[in-house]
Amino acid sequence: MKNLIQEIQEGILTENQVNRLLDRNNTVLLKGRNRDIAIGTGFLIKVCTNIGVSDPNELQFELNKLRLLNNVKFAPDIVMDHTIVNLKKPLWETMVDEFSGAVGTLPHYLTYNPQKGIDEVELLEMVSKMAEYGVSFITIHPTANRNLLSIAKRERVLPTTARGGSIVLKDLEINRRKENVFEKNYLAILKILKSHDMAVSIGTTFRPSNVFEAMDMAHLEETKLQAEFVRVAKENGVNVLMEGVGHIRLNDMEKYAGIIKRIDVPFMPLGPMPTDASVGFDHVASAIGASHLGYMGVAKIFHSITREEHTGNVPSVDSIIEGLKSARIAAHTVNISLFPNYATMDKQVALTRAHNKTCVINQGLFADNIGESYNAGCNRCKHECPLMLNL
Ligand code: SF4
DSSP for 148-202 reads HHHHHHHH-SSS---HHHHHHHHHHHHTT-SS-HHHHTHHHHHHHHHHTT-EEEE
**What separation in Å is there between the alpha carbon of 124 and the centre of ligand 1?**
61
Residue nearest to atom 2 of ligand 1 (CA): 381
Is 389 within the bounds of a domain?
A: no
Based on the fold, state whether residues 276 and 351 are members of the same structural domain.
Answer: no
**Residue among 161, 158, 151, 124 at smallest CA distance from 140:** 124
Q: If you average pLDDT over residues 22-43, what whole number do you get? A: 96
Is 272 within the bounds of a domain?
A: yes
Ligand 1 is surrounded, with C-beta below 6 A, by 358-360, 377-378, 380-381, 385-387
**What separation in Å is there between the alpha carbon of 368 and the centre of ligand 1?**
21
Q: Is the pLDDT of residue 226 over 90?
A: yes
H or E element in which residue 302 lies: strand 301-303
Quote the distance between the C-alpha of residue 318 and its chain's center. Answer: 19
Residue whose CB lies within 8 A of the most ligand 1 atoms, among 352, 381, 383, 388, for a mutation test: 381
**Using N-to-C axis directions, what is the helix angle for 59-71 and 317-338, rounded to 10°?**
30
Based on the fold, state whether residues 246 and 379 are members of the same structural domain.
Answer: no
Is 84 within the bounds of a domain?
A: yes
161-213 confidence digits (pLDDT tens): 899 999 999 999 999 999 999 999 999 999 999 999 999 999 999 999 999 99
DSSP states of 252-270 as a string? HHHHHHHHHHHH-S-EEES
Residue nearest to atom 8 of ligand 1 (CA): 359
% the chain with pLDDT above 90 = 92
Is 1 within the bounds of a domain?
A: no
Q: What is the pLDDT of residue 373?
A: 85
**Taking the CA of residue 136 as centre, how many other CA atoms within 13 Å lie in the half-sphere pointing to its CB?**
28
Is 32 in contact with 99 (CB distance < 8 Å)? Answer: yes
Residue nearest to atom 7 of ligand 1 (CA): 385
Residue nearest to atom 4 of ligand 1 (CA): 378
Q: What is the pLDDT of residue 22?
A: 96
**What separation in Å is there between the alpha carbon of 132 and the centre of ligand 1?**
56
DSSP state of 103: E
Between the CA atoms of 324, 203, 293 and 92, what dihedral angle is there, to the nearest 10 degrees?
A: -20
Based on the fold, state whether residues 281 and 306 are members of the same structural domain.
Answer: yes
Q: What is the pLDDT of residue 79?
A: 98
Task: Tell me the C-alpha to C-alpha distance, in Å, between residue 76 and each of 35, 49, 160, 210.
Answer: 11, 6, 28, 27
Judge if pTM exceeds 0.85: yes
Q: If you average pLDDT over residues 344-359, what whole number do you get? A: 93
Based on the fold, state whether residues 348 and 302 are members of the same structural domain.
Answer: no
120-143 confidence digits (pLDDT tens): 999 999 999 999 999 999 999 999
Q: Which domain holds residue 83?
A: 6-342
Based on the fold, state whether residues 253 and 278 are members of the same structural domain.
Answer: yes
**What separation in Å is there between the alpha carbon of 357 and the centre of ligand 1?**
8
Sheet containing 102-105: give its strands across: 267-269, 240-244, 199-202, 137-140, 102-105, 78-81, 46-51, 301-303
Rounded Cα distance, 316 and 366, in Å: 19
Residue whose CB lies within 8 A of the most ligand 1 atoms, among 378, 388, 389, 390, for a mutation test: 378
165-177 confidence digits (pLDDT tens): 999 999 999 999 9
Based on the fold, state whether residues 51 and 103 are members of the same structural domain.
Answer: yes
**What separation in Å is there between the alpha carbon of 371 and the centre of ligand 1?**
20
Rounded Cα distance, 261 and 157, in Å: 29
% the chain with pLDDT above 70 = 99
Q: Is the pLDDT of residue 260 over 70?
A: yes
**What separation in Å is there between the alpha carbon of 73 and the centre of ligand 1?**
28
Based on the fold, state whether residues 40 and 186 are members of the same structural domain.
Answer: yes
Q: What is the pLDDT of residue 2?
A: 62
Band the pLDDT of 370: cuts 50, 70, 90.
confident
Based on the fold, state whether residues 151 and 175 are members of the same structural domain.
Answer: yes
Number of domains in the chain: 2
**What separation in Å is there between the alpha carbon of 121 and the centre of ligand 1?**
65
Based on the fold, state whether residues 134 and 173 are members of the same structural domain.
Answer: yes
Based on the fold, state whether residues 243 and 320 are members of the same structural domain.
Answer: yes
Q: What is the pLDDT of residue 372?
A: 85
Q: Is the pLDDT of residue 340 over 90?
A: no
Q: Is the pLDDT of residue 230 over 60?
A: yes
Residue whose CB lies within 8 A of the most ligand 1 atoms, among 360, 362, 374, for a mutation test: 360
Q: What is the pLDDT of residue 311?
A: 87
Rounded Cα distance, 133 and 382, in Å: 59
Q: What is the pLDDT of residue 289?
A: 97
CATH classification at residue 158 = 3.20.20.540
